[in-house]
Amino acid sequence: MTSLSAAFTGELGAFRLDVAFDAPLDGVTALFGPSGSGKTTVLRAIAGLEHLKGRCALGRHVWQDALHFVPVHKRGIGYVFQEPSLFPHLSVRANLLYGNHRARGARAITFDAVVELLKIWKLLDRAPERLSGGERQRVSLGRALLSQPRLLLLDEPMSALDRGAKEEILPYFEALHTALGLPMILVSHDIAEVERLASHMLLMSNGKITASGPLNELLTRPDLPFHQNRDAAAVLTARVVGQESDGLAALDIAGQRLLVAGEAGAPGDAVRVRIMARDVSLAVEPPSRTTILNILKAEITAIEALRGPDAAVTLGLGNQTLLARITQRSVAALDLRVGQPVFAQVKGVALVTGPAQ
Ligand SMILES: Nc1ncnc2c1ncn2[C@@H]1O[C@H](COP(=O)(O)OP(=O)(O)OP(=O)(O)O)[C@@H](O)[C@H]1O
Protein backbone atom coordinates (compact mmCIF):
# COMPACT_ATOMS: atom_id res chain seq x y z
CA MET A 1 0.00 0.00 0.00
CA THR A 2 1.31 3.45 -0.83
CA SER A 3 1.38 6.09 1.85
CA LEU A 4 2.00 9.74 2.37
CA SER A 5 5.34 10.02 4.09
CA ALA A 6 6.32 13.42 5.42
CA ALA A 7 8.57 15.19 7.90
CA PHE A 8 8.60 18.95 8.44
CA THR A 9 10.37 21.25 10.84
CA GLY A 10 10.24 24.99 11.06
CA GLU A 11 9.25 28.10 12.94
CA LEU A 12 6.29 30.34 12.20
CA GLY A 13 6.69 33.33 14.47
CA ALA A 14 6.87 31.92 17.97
CA PHE A 15 5.36 28.58 16.91
CA ARG A 16 7.63 25.60 16.31
CA LEU A 17 6.53 22.65 14.19
CA ASP A 18 8.38 19.33 14.25
CA VAL A 19 6.51 16.38 12.76
CA ALA A 20 7.24 13.12 10.97
CA PHE A 21 4.57 10.67 9.91
CA ASP A 22 3.34 8.05 7.48
CA ALA A 23 -0.33 8.10 6.59
CA PRO A 24 -1.79 5.11 4.74
CA LEU A 25 -3.71 6.05 1.64
CA ASP A 26 -6.46 3.47 1.74
CA GLY A 27 -8.90 5.64 3.63
CA VAL A 28 -9.40 8.95 5.37
CA THR A 29 -6.63 10.04 7.72
CA ALA A 30 -7.68 12.58 10.34
CA LEU A 31 -5.27 15.17 11.63
CA PHE A 32 -6.78 15.85 15.02
CA GLY A 33 -5.78 18.26 17.74
CA PRO A 34 -6.70 21.43 19.59
CA SER A 35 -6.82 24.84 17.99
CA GLY A 36 -3.31 26.19 17.34
CA SER A 37 -1.62 22.76 17.49
CA GLY A 38 -0.39 23.13 13.90
CA LYS A 39 -2.86 21.09 11.84
CA THR A 40 -3.38 23.67 9.11
CA THR A 41 0.36 24.32 8.92
CA VAL A 42 0.97 20.60 8.27
CA LEU A 43 -1.70 20.56 5.58
CA ARG A 44 -0.22 23.66 3.93
CA ALA A 45 3.24 22.09 4.02
CA ILE A 46 1.90 18.91 2.36
CA ALA A 47 0.29 21.03 -0.36
CA GLY A 48 3.48 23.04 -0.90
CA LEU A 49 1.79 26.27 0.20
CA GLU A 50 4.25 26.49 3.09
CA HIS A 51 7.91 25.73 2.42
CA LEU A 52 9.29 24.25 5.63
CA LYS A 53 12.43 22.17 5.96
CA GLY A 54 11.85 18.46 5.44
CA ARG A 55 10.54 15.91 3.01
CA CYS A 56 7.20 14.84 1.60
CA ALA A 57 6.32 12.02 -0.78
CA LEU A 58 3.07 10.52 -1.92
CA GLY A 59 3.97 6.95 -2.87
CA ARG A 60 6.58 7.26 -5.61
CA HIS A 61 5.91 10.97 -6.17
CA VAL A 62 8.54 12.93 -4.27
CA TRP A 63 7.20 16.44 -3.68
CA GLN A 64 9.91 17.68 -1.39
CA ASP A 65 13.34 16.56 -0.26
CA ALA A 66 16.73 18.19 0.18
CA LEU A 67 16.98 18.79 -3.59
CA HIS A 68 13.41 19.16 -4.84
CA PHE A 69 10.40 21.29 -4.08
CA VAL A 70 7.50 20.59 -6.45
CA PRO A 71 5.23 23.65 -6.72
CA VAL A 72 1.68 23.35 -5.43
CA HIS A 73 0.00 23.24 -8.88
CA LYS A 74 2.11 20.26 -9.93
CA ARG A 75 1.37 18.08 -6.92
CA GLY A 76 -2.12 16.99 -7.94
CA ILE A 77 -3.77 18.09 -4.73
CA GLY A 78 -7.40 19.02 -4.18
CA TYR A 79 -7.85 21.42 -1.25
CA VAL A 80 -11.13 22.24 0.47
CA PHE A 81 -10.95 25.04 3.02
CA GLN A 82 -13.09 25.92 6.00
CA GLU A 83 -14.74 28.73 4.03
CA PRO A 84 -15.96 27.75 0.58
CA SER A 85 -13.92 29.57 -2.04
CA LEU A 86 -15.95 29.91 -5.22
CA PHE A 87 -15.68 32.54 -7.95
CA PRO A 88 -18.66 34.81 -7.29
CA HIS A 89 -19.07 35.92 -10.93
CA LEU A 90 -19.23 32.34 -12.25
CA SER A 91 -22.16 29.93 -12.13
CA VAL A 92 -21.87 26.68 -10.20
CA ARG A 93 -21.29 24.84 -13.49
CA ALA A 94 -18.50 27.22 -14.52
CA ASN A 95 -16.96 27.00 -11.06
CA LEU A 96 -16.93 23.22 -11.32
CA LEU A 97 -15.49 23.23 -14.83
CA TYR A 98 -12.82 25.71 -13.81
CA GLY A 99 -11.14 22.98 -11.79
CA ASN A 100 -11.74 20.28 -14.39
CA HIS A 101 -8.29 19.19 -15.41
CA ARG A 102 -7.67 16.47 -17.89
CA ALA A 103 -7.80 13.08 -16.22
CA ARG A 104 -4.56 11.49 -15.19
CA GLY A 105 -4.47 7.90 -16.46
CA ALA A 106 -7.52 5.73 -16.06
CA ARG A 107 -8.76 7.18 -12.76
CA ALA A 108 -10.92 9.89 -14.18
CA ILE A 109 -13.46 11.66 -12.01
CA THR A 110 -16.07 12.85 -14.47
CA PHE A 111 -18.28 15.93 -14.28
CA ASP A 112 -21.39 13.73 -14.31
CA ALA A 113 -20.06 11.51 -11.54
CA VAL A 114 -19.35 14.51 -9.31
CA VAL A 115 -22.73 16.10 -9.98
CA GLU A 116 -24.41 12.79 -9.17
CA LEU A 117 -22.29 12.03 -6.10
CA LEU A 118 -22.81 15.47 -4.56
CA LYS A 119 -26.39 15.77 -5.84
CA ILE A 120 -25.83 19.24 -7.23
CA TRP A 121 -27.62 18.94 -10.57
CA LYS A 122 -30.30 21.42 -9.53
CA LEU A 123 -27.67 23.98 -8.56
CA LEU A 124 -25.66 24.04 -11.78
CA ASP A 125 -27.00 27.31 -13.19
CA ARG A 126 -27.06 29.23 -9.91
CA ALA A 127 -24.65 31.90 -8.78
CA PRO A 128 -22.64 31.01 -5.62
CA GLU A 129 -24.35 33.81 -3.66
CA ARG A 130 -27.66 32.00 -4.10
CA LEU A 131 -26.44 28.85 -2.40
CA SER A 132 -26.65 27.88 1.27
CA GLY A 133 -23.41 27.37 3.19
CA GLY A 134 -23.69 23.59 2.89
CA GLU A 135 -24.40 23.77 -0.84
CA ARG A 136 -21.45 26.10 -1.38
CA GLN A 137 -19.19 23.64 0.40
CA ARG A 138 -20.51 20.78 -1.75
CA VAL A 139 -19.65 22.76 -4.87
CA SER A 140 -16.16 23.59 -3.50
CA LEU A 141 -15.67 19.89 -2.92
CA GLY A 142 -16.90 19.13 -6.45
CA ARG A 143 -14.44 21.62 -7.89
CA ALA A 144 -11.58 20.06 -5.93
CA LEU A 145 -12.58 16.59 -7.15
CA LEU A 146 -12.70 17.69 -10.78
CA SER A 147 -9.11 18.84 -10.60
CA GLN A 148 -8.42 15.06 -10.64
CA PRO A 149 -6.40 15.11 -7.44
CA ARG A 150 -4.10 12.34 -6.27
CA LEU A 151 -4.79 13.45 -2.71
CA LEU A 152 -7.62 15.47 -1.21
CA LEU A 153 -6.86 17.79 1.71
CA LEU A 154 -9.87 18.85 3.76
CA ASP A 155 -9.25 21.65 6.26
CA GLU A 156 -12.18 21.72 8.70
CA PRO A 157 -14.59 21.66 5.76
CA MET A 158 -17.64 21.57 8.00
CA SER A 159 -16.65 23.86 10.84
CA ALA A 160 -18.19 27.00 9.33
CA LEU A 161 -21.55 25.24 8.94
CA ASP A 162 -24.36 25.14 11.46
CA ARG A 163 -25.44 21.82 12.90
CA GLY A 164 -28.19 21.22 10.33
CA ALA A 165 -25.97 21.98 7.34
CA LYS A 166 -23.25 19.81 8.82
CA GLU A 167 -25.59 16.83 9.16
CA GLU A 168 -26.70 17.43 5.58
CA ILE A 169 -23.20 17.46 4.12
CA LEU A 170 -21.59 14.68 6.21
CA PRO A 171 -23.05 11.83 4.14
CA TYR A 172 -21.41 13.31 1.02
CA PHE A 173 -18.03 13.23 2.70
CA GLU A 174 -18.80 9.71 3.92
CA ALA A 175 -19.65 8.57 0.39
CA LEU A 176 -16.56 10.15 -1.13
CA HIS A 177 -13.98 7.64 -0.19
CA THR A 178 -16.14 4.62 -0.96
CA ALA A 179 -17.23 6.03 -4.31
CA LEU A 180 -13.92 7.37 -5.55
CA GLY A 181 -11.25 5.56 -3.54
CA LEU A 182 -9.44 8.86 -3.22
CA PRO A 183 -6.98 9.26 -0.36
CA MET A 184 -7.93 12.09 1.98
CA ILE A 185 -6.50 13.95 4.91
CA LEU A 186 -9.10 15.62 7.09
CA VAL A 187 -8.18 18.32 9.57
CA SER A 188 -10.66 18.45 12.41
CA HIS A 189 -11.03 19.25 16.05
CA ASP A 190 -14.41 17.52 16.25
CA ILE A 191 -13.93 13.92 17.37
CA ALA A 192 -17.47 12.89 16.38
CA GLU A 193 -16.72 14.00 12.81
CA VAL A 194 -13.45 12.06 12.88
CA GLU A 195 -15.25 8.94 14.15
CA ARG A 196 -17.68 9.13 11.25
CA LEU A 197 -15.16 9.73 8.51
CA ALA A 198 -11.66 8.59 9.35
CA SER A 199 -9.99 5.21 9.47
CA HIS A 200 -6.60 6.46 10.63
CA MET A 201 -5.64 9.29 12.95
CA LEU A 202 -2.65 11.53 13.55
CA LEU A 203 -2.91 13.24 16.90
CA MET A 204 -1.32 16.70 17.14
CA SER A 205 -0.39 18.83 20.09
CA ASN A 206 1.91 21.88 20.31
CA GLY A 207 3.42 21.41 16.87
CA LYS A 208 4.14 17.71 17.35
CA ILE A 209 2.46 14.43 16.42
CA THR A 210 1.90 12.70 19.73
CA ALA A 211 0.26 9.49 18.47
CA SER A 212 -0.74 7.92 15.18
CA GLY A 213 -2.44 4.72 14.16
CA PRO A 214 -5.72 3.11 13.14
CA LEU A 215 -8.64 5.18 14.42
CA ASN A 216 -10.10 2.65 16.84
CA GLU A 217 -6.72 1.83 18.31
CA LEU A 218 -6.28 5.48 19.30
CA LEU A 219 -9.89 5.95 20.44
CA THR A 220 -9.57 3.04 22.86
CA ARG A 221 -5.93 3.28 23.97
CA PRO A 222 -5.83 3.56 27.77
CA ASP A 223 -2.88 6.01 27.67
CA LEU A 224 -4.72 8.50 25.44
CA PRO A 225 -7.54 10.73 26.67
CA PHE A 226 -10.34 9.67 24.28
CA HIS A 227 -11.61 6.64 26.21
CA GLN A 228 -12.23 8.83 29.27
CA ASN A 229 -14.54 11.32 27.51
CA ARG A 230 -18.21 11.40 28.31
CA ASP A 231 -18.86 10.83 24.61
CA ALA A 232 -16.18 8.15 24.23
CA ALA A 233 -16.94 5.70 21.43
CA ALA A 234 -15.34 2.81 19.60
CA VAL A 235 -15.50 2.45 15.83
CA LEU A 236 -15.33 -1.21 14.83
CA THR A 237 -15.29 -3.04 11.54
CA ALA A 238 -17.97 -5.61 10.76
CA ARG A 239 -19.15 -7.59 7.74
CA VAL A 240 -22.65 -7.53 6.36
CA VAL A 241 -24.44 -10.87 6.70
CA GLY A 242 -27.79 -9.82 5.29
CA GLN A 243 -30.79 -7.58 5.52
CA GLU A 244 -33.61 -8.76 7.79
CA SER A 245 -37.28 -8.18 6.98
CA ASP A 246 -37.88 -5.81 9.94
CA GLY A 247 -35.47 -3.09 8.79
CA LEU A 248 -32.49 -4.39 10.74
CA ALA A 249 -29.26 -5.42 9.08
CA ALA A 250 -27.33 -8.40 10.44
CA LEU A 251 -23.57 -7.97 10.70
CA ASP A 252 -20.78 -10.26 11.74
CA ILE A 253 -18.28 -8.86 14.20
CA ALA A 254 -15.47 -11.13 15.37
CA GLY A 255 -17.67 -14.16 14.64
CA GLN A 256 -20.67 -12.77 16.54
CA ARG A 257 -23.91 -11.30 15.31
CA LEU A 258 -24.67 -7.61 15.60
CA LEU A 259 -27.99 -6.09 14.50
CA VAL A 260 -28.14 -2.50 13.35
CA ALA A 261 -30.98 -0.33 12.03
CA GLY A 262 -30.75 0.64 8.39
CA GLU A 263 -29.37 -0.73 5.17
CA ALA A 264 -25.80 -1.88 5.54
CA GLY A 265 -25.05 -3.05 2.00
CA ALA A 266 -24.48 -6.34 0.25
CA PRO A 267 -23.52 -9.53 2.10
CA GLY A 268 -19.76 -9.64 2.60
CA ASP A 269 -19.32 -5.83 2.50
CA ALA A 270 -17.11 -4.38 5.21
CA VAL A 271 -18.85 -1.65 7.22
CA ARG A 272 -17.95 0.46 10.22
CA VAL A 273 -20.09 0.78 13.30
CA ARG A 274 -19.82 3.31 16.08
CA ILE A 275 -20.69 2.18 19.59
CA MET A 276 -20.67 4.74 22.38
CA ALA A 277 -19.15 3.63 25.68
CA ARG A 278 -22.20 4.78 27.63
CA ASP A 279 -24.42 2.54 25.48
CA VAL A 280 -22.55 -0.56 26.63
CA SER A 281 -23.32 -2.28 29.93
CA LEU A 282 -21.78 -5.48 31.25
CA ALA A 283 -23.07 -8.75 32.68
CA VAL A 284 -21.05 -11.66 34.02
CA GLU A 285 -23.69 -14.23 33.03
CA PRO A 286 -25.61 -14.48 29.76
CA PRO A 287 -28.54 -12.07 30.15
CA SER A 288 -31.90 -13.65 29.46
CA ARG A 289 -35.29 -12.12 28.65
CA THR A 290 -33.87 -8.69 27.84
CA THR A 291 -34.91 -6.12 25.26
CA ILE A 292 -31.28 -5.55 24.30
CA LEU A 293 -30.74 -7.14 20.89
CA ASN A 294 -26.99 -7.10 20.83
CA ILE A 295 -25.07 -9.06 23.42
CA LEU A 296 -21.42 -9.69 22.60
CA LYS A 297 -19.00 -11.99 24.37
CA ALA A 298 -15.89 -10.01 25.22
CA GLU A 299 -12.97 -9.95 27.60
CA ILE A 300 -11.98 -7.11 29.92
CA THR A 301 -8.57 -5.72 28.92
CA ALA A 302 -8.43 -2.61 31.15
CA ILE A 303 -10.45 -0.92 33.90
CA GLU A 304 -9.80 2.69 34.80
CA ALA A 305 -11.53 4.57 37.59
CA LEU A 306 -12.45 8.05 36.33
CA ARG A 307 -12.99 11.20 38.33
CA GLY A 308 -16.51 10.97 39.69
CA PRO A 309 -18.47 7.73 40.04
CA ASP A 310 -17.68 6.16 36.64
CA ALA A 311 -15.12 3.73 35.31
CA ALA A 312 -13.90 3.28 31.73
CA VAL A 313 -13.69 -0.37 30.76
CA THR A 314 -11.84 -1.56 27.66
CA LEU A 315 -13.00 -4.83 26.14
CA GLY A 316 -11.35 -7.15 23.64
CA LEU A 317 -13.63 -8.49 20.94
CA GLY A 318 -11.53 -10.75 18.70
CA ASN A 319 -8.77 -8.43 17.56
CA GLN A 320 -10.96 -5.34 17.99
CA THR A 321 -11.66 -3.17 21.02
CA LEU A 322 -14.91 -1.94 22.51
CA LEU A 323 -15.43 0.56 25.34
CA ALA A 324 -17.94 0.48 28.19
CA ARG A 325 -18.75 3.25 30.66
CA ILE A 326 -20.13 1.84 33.89
CA THR A 327 -20.05 2.90 37.53
CA GLN A 328 -17.19 2.05 39.86
CA ARG A 329 -19.89 0.71 42.15
CA SER A 330 -20.79 -1.93 39.51
CA VAL A 331 -17.12 -2.80 39.01
CA ALA A 332 -16.91 -3.54 42.74
CA ALA A 333 -20.32 -5.25 43.00
CA LEU A 334 -19.54 -7.68 40.17
CA ASP A 335 -15.86 -7.91 41.14
CA LEU A 336 -14.84 -7.15 37.54
CA ARG A 337 -11.18 -7.75 36.71
CA VAL A 338 -8.84 -7.59 33.75
CA GLY A 339 -8.88 -10.89 31.84
CA GLN A 340 -12.44 -11.71 32.85
CA PRO A 341 -14.92 -12.82 30.15
CA VAL A 342 -18.10 -10.74 30.17
CA PHE A 343 -21.25 -10.17 28.15
CA ALA A 344 -21.34 -6.67 26.67
CA GLN A 345 -24.92 -5.48 26.22
CA VAL A 346 -24.94 -2.96 23.41
CA LYS A 347 -27.89 -0.60 23.59
CA GLY A 348 -27.03 1.61 20.64
CA VAL A 349 -25.06 1.00 17.49
CA ALA A 350 -24.83 3.16 14.39
CA LEU A 351 -23.41 2.57 10.95
CA VAL A 352 -20.93 5.33 10.31
CA THR A 353 -19.99 4.84 6.70
CA GLY A 354 -22.75 3.45 4.61
CA PRO A 355 -22.30 1.87 1.19
CA ALA A 356 -21.65 4.08 -1.80
CA GLN A 357 -24.83 5.94 -2.69
N1 LIG B 1 2.52 32.66 8.98
C2 LIG B 1 2.53 32.57 10.31
N3 LIG B 1 3.25 33.41 11.08
C4 LIG B 1 3.29 33.31 12.42
N5 LIG B 1 2.60 32.37 13.10
C6 LIG B 1 1.86 31.51 12.40
C7 LIG B 1 1.78 31.55 10.98
N8 LIG B 1 0.95 30.54 10.57
C9 LIG B 1 0.54 29.91 11.69
N10 LIG B 1 1.07 30.47 12.78
C11 LIG B 1 0.88 30.04 14.18
O12 LIG B 1 1.17 28.67 14.23
C13 LIG B 1 0.31 28.00 15.17
C14 LIG B 1 -0.37 26.81 14.49
O15 LIG B 1 -1.33 27.28 13.59
P16 LIG B 1 -2.26 26.31 12.73
O17 LIG B 1 -3.20 27.16 11.96
O18 LIG B 1 -1.42 25.36 11.97
O19 LIG B 1 -3.02 25.52 13.88
P20 LIG B 1 -4.34 24.63 13.78
O21 LIG B 1 -4.09 23.44 14.63
O22 LIG B 1 -4.70 24.39 12.36
O23 LIG B 1 -5.38 25.56 14.49
P24 LIG B 1 -6.98 25.80 14.19
O25 LIG B 1 -7.66 24.52 14.58
O26 LIG B 1 -7.29 26.93 15.10
O27 LIG B 1 -7.08 26.13 12.75
C28 LIG B 1 -0.64 29.05 15.69
O29 LIG B 1 -0.14 29.49 16.94
C30 LIG B 1 -0.56 30.15 14.64
O31 LIG B 1 -0.84 31.39 15.22
User: pTM value?
Assistant: 0.88
CA neighbor of 30 nearest in space, from 168, 235, 262, 329: 235
pLDDT of residue 355: 38
Q: Grade residue 84 by pLDDT with cuts at 50, 70 and 90.
A: confident
Q: Grade residue 103 by pLDDT with cuts at 50, 70 and 90.
A: low
pLDDT of residue 1: 66
Residue closest by Cα to atom 18 of ligand 1: 38
pLDDT of residue 105: 54
For ligand 1, whether the C-beta of 40 sits within 6 Å is yes
* pLDDT mean over 105-110: 68
For ligand 1, whether the C-beta of 44 sits within 6 Å is no
Where are the CATH 2.40.50.100 domain residues in the chain?
A: 233-355
* pLDDT mean over 259-264: 90
8 Å CB contact between 78 and 152: yes
8 Å CB contact between 299 and 341: yes
More confident residue, 262 or 211: 211
- The pLDDT of residue 357 is above 50: no
* Fold for the domain defined by 233-355: OB fold (Dihydrolipoamide Acetyltransferase, E2P) (2.40.50)
For ligand 1, whether the C-beta of 16 sits within 6 Å is no
For ligand 1, whether the C-beta of 15 sits within 6 Å is yes
Q: Which atom of ligand 1 is nearest to the CA of 187?
A: 22
For ligand 1, whether the C-beta of 38 sits within 6 Å is yes
For ligand 1, whether the C-beta of 39 sits within 6 Å is yes
Ligand 1 center to 38 CA (angstroms): 6
Where are the CATH 3.40.50.300 domain residues in the chain?
A: 3-220
- The pLDDT of residue 249 is above 70: yes
pLDDT of residue 170: 79
Average pLDDT, the chain: 90
8 Å CB contact between 171 and 354: yes
Q: Grade residue 102 by pLDDT with cuts at 50, 70 and 90.
A: low
Q: Give the integer Cα–Cα distance in Å for 31 and 204.
A: 7
ipTM over 0.85: yes
- Cα angle value 251/224/272 (rounded, 5°): 15
Ligand 1 center to 42 CA (angstroms): 10
8 Å CB contact between 347 and 292: yes
Each residue's pLDDT tens digit, 285-335: 999 888 899 999 999 999 999 999 999 999 999 999 999 999 999 999 999
- The pLDDT of residue 101 is above 70: no
Each residue's pLDDT tens digit, 268-288: 998 899 999 999 999 999 998
CATH of segment(s) 3-220: 3.40.50.300
Each residue's pLDDT tens digit, 20-66: 999 987 889 999 999 999 999 999 999 999 999 999 999 999 999 99
For ligand 1, whether the C-beta of 64 sits within 6 Å is no
* pLDDT mean over 110-115: 88
Ligand 1 center to 207 CA (angstroms): 9
Q: Grade residue 356 by pLDDT with cuts at 50, 70 and 90.
A: very low
Ligand 1 center to 8 CA (angstroms): 15
